[in-house]
Structure 1
Amino acid sequence: MPDSERRRIGGIPLRAFAPNAITILALCSGLTGVRFAIDGEWAAAITMIIVAGVLDGMDGRIARLLRAQSKFGAELDSLSDVIAFGVAPAMILFFWSLDEAPKFGWTAALALAVCCALRLARFNSRMDADFQPHKSAGFMTGIPAPAGAGLSFVPVYLWLVTDNDLFRQWYVVMPWALGIAMLMISAIPTYSWSSIRLRRSWRIFALAGVGLFGAAMVTAPWWTLLAVCALYMIALPFGLASYAKVRRRG
């Protein structure tokens, strides 16, 4: 009996349901961040976007682990990413700062959401392409949506740790948000998890680093996120150099 007929008669196995449920939770986390932003609870709003990012990192891996990948799941994941890492961050930044801009505040917020959608549309349109030079070399094109959302909140992190209203001014937030939006739709090669390799001798140190990172996120989350964002931005030119090196090797 074909698999499609078996699914129609016997229903959908639970293992195929789990990844999509996690994706829905990520979507709901992003929208809940907007709800907290409306109430002025900025730390909670950012936390919900971070939770969405963690869930987004889990759903695809769980789908592959359970062999539950599907076209429906891929489409749902993209829609969730647009909302959780494009629309939600744009609205949070608008409520937090950009609504004070005399002009173009909403336009800057829209740019972040639109560029996130464009990046995901480009990614989906190339999934079945025979030639993807960045992907074949282990790189991504532009910064991914979750990373873009996290980077867009750098002024909020700085405001939370310093309580300096300078970081909340629209003329600081607007160019930063526009810059991150441009990076999302840019063609620069960026590191992906598949391009990172750990030596066996570094495995224990890496595990210890993960533990320390978790402790830092609990005790000083905003400083930790600032450090992660700084390291990511520093890694961008190294990604360009690494990709150029791979290209030269043929």
Structure 2
Amino acid sequence: MPFDPKLRDRPKRRFGPIPVRLLVPNFITLLAIGAGLTAIRLSTEGRMELAVAAIVFAAVLDGIDGRVARMIKGQSKFGAELDSLADFVNFGVAPGLILYFWQLHDLHNVGWIAAMIFAISGGLRLARFNSTIDDPKPAAAANFFTGVPAPAGAIAVMLPVYLEFLGAPRIPAVVTALYTLVIAGLMVSRLPVFSGKAVRMRVPPELVLPVFVSVVFIIALLIGYPWHVLTIGSVLYLATLPLGLKSYREKVKAEAALMGAEPGAASGLSANVPPASGAAHEERPTRLN
């Protein structure tokens, strides 16, 4: 075979060592995927309490990996895509299957359709976020998600399961299916949901110890009374969703007034909804949180 002189001038591809700081966040994300897959297995075996606990653990890891990546400057495009995959498995597929094996199977095909719609809604929400992450957004939308984030939706959709764990009578399967569809709709909706991204994370020195005590107290409550905490948290979260819409409208009006325009003109949108942006989990320039 004749030698091609062009090959001599072609630059050689070199792969340098990958810094450990780029791997650490991905290890956390892989651990979260393992928790989500384990939750699916536990639900098929009827161990629902452990299955739900695995989803909650995955949600905690989802809140950690992005912050760890930013803290150690370990963001990467690979990590962002892996995080999106983890969110779809942990907060879309796994909760839907848990609900199906727990009760929705009583409705046969109808129950399966409800579980499937929830899982697909989680995937659509993540796809919407990834496709619009670089789109320009108005200042009013800086502190809001569009729709309920995937991790919050996964925790909230299992509210009927928490109630049974607390000893309440099992609600009818039809009600569970309708509730599942409502949460799925909130995930893919354009409802402004407060994200807390703009909240300052600096703590005054005099409040450091009270903050530590508060965090330990919350963790202790979650460990000692998990179903009480998850039930109250889910109800309060859903009840405060209208407050996010009200706050967003006020910010849009304030922005419009500042620019001397009609409400909604400052952002190029109506005062009801923010532009299509998204989550976690479902919060990321390079990782989804």
Q: Distance in 2 between matches of 1:71 and 1:35?
A: 30
Matched, 1:191 2:197: no
SS at match of 2:123: helix
| Shift in Å, 1:172 | 2.1
Higher relative contact order (CA 8 A, sep 6+): 2
Q: What are the superposed Cα offsets for residues 124-179 of structure 1, whole Å, 9 maximum, x if unpaired? A: 0111112356642x111111000000001000000000152x23x31121011001
| Shift in Å, 1:197 | 5.0
Alignment of 1:1-250 (within 5 A): 8-131=14-137, 135-136=141-142, 138-164=143-169, 166-167=170-171, 169-197=172-200, 200=204, 205-250=210-255
Q: Distance in 1 between matches of 2:241 and 2:210?
A: 24
Q: What are the superposed Cα offsets for residues 65-91 of structure 1, whole Å, 9 maximum, x if unpaired? A: 111111111111101100010001111
RMSD over aligned Cα, in angstroms? 2.0
SS at match of 2:135: coil
Q: Distance in 2 between matches of 1:243 and 1:147?
A: 19
**Higher helix proportion, which one?**
1
1:233–1:196 Cα change, 3 Å: farther
Which ranges of structure 1 fall in alignment gaps of 5 or more residues?
Answer: none
Which ranges of structure 2 fall in alignment gaps of 5 or more residues?
Answer: 1-10, 256-289
The answer to whether the 8 Å contact 1:98/1:105 transfers is: yes
The answer to whether the 8 Å contact 1:50/1:150 transfers is: yes
State the identity as a percent: 42
The answer to whether the 8 Å contact 1:30/1:48 transfers is: yes
Q: Distance in 1 between matches of 2:246 and 2:14?
A: 51
Q: Distance in 1 between matches of 2:254 and 2:140?
A: 14
The answer to whether the 8 Å contact 1:23/1:59 transfers is: yes
The two structures have a TM-score, normalised by structure 2, of: 0.79
Q: Distance in 1 between matches of 2:16 and 2:181?
A: 49
How many residues get paired? 242
SS at match of 2:166: helix
1:132–1:41 Cα change, 3 Å: farther
1:230–1:208 Cα change, 3 Å: farther
The answer to whether the 8 Å contact 1:134/1:141 transfers is: no
The answer to whether the 8 Å contact 2:39/2:94 transfers is: yes
Report which of the two structures shows the higher radius of gyration computed on alpha carbons.
2
Ranges of 4+ aligned residues in structure 1 off by more than 6 Å? none
The answer to whether the 8 Å contact 2:121/2:187 transfers is: yes
The answer to whether the 8 Å contact 1:134/1:140 transfers is: no
Q: Distance in 2 between matches of 1:104 and 1:184?
A: 20
1:69–1:14 Cα change, 3 Å: same
1:134–1:53 Cα change, 3 Å: farther
Q: Distance in 1 between matches of 2:182 and 2:82?
A: 27
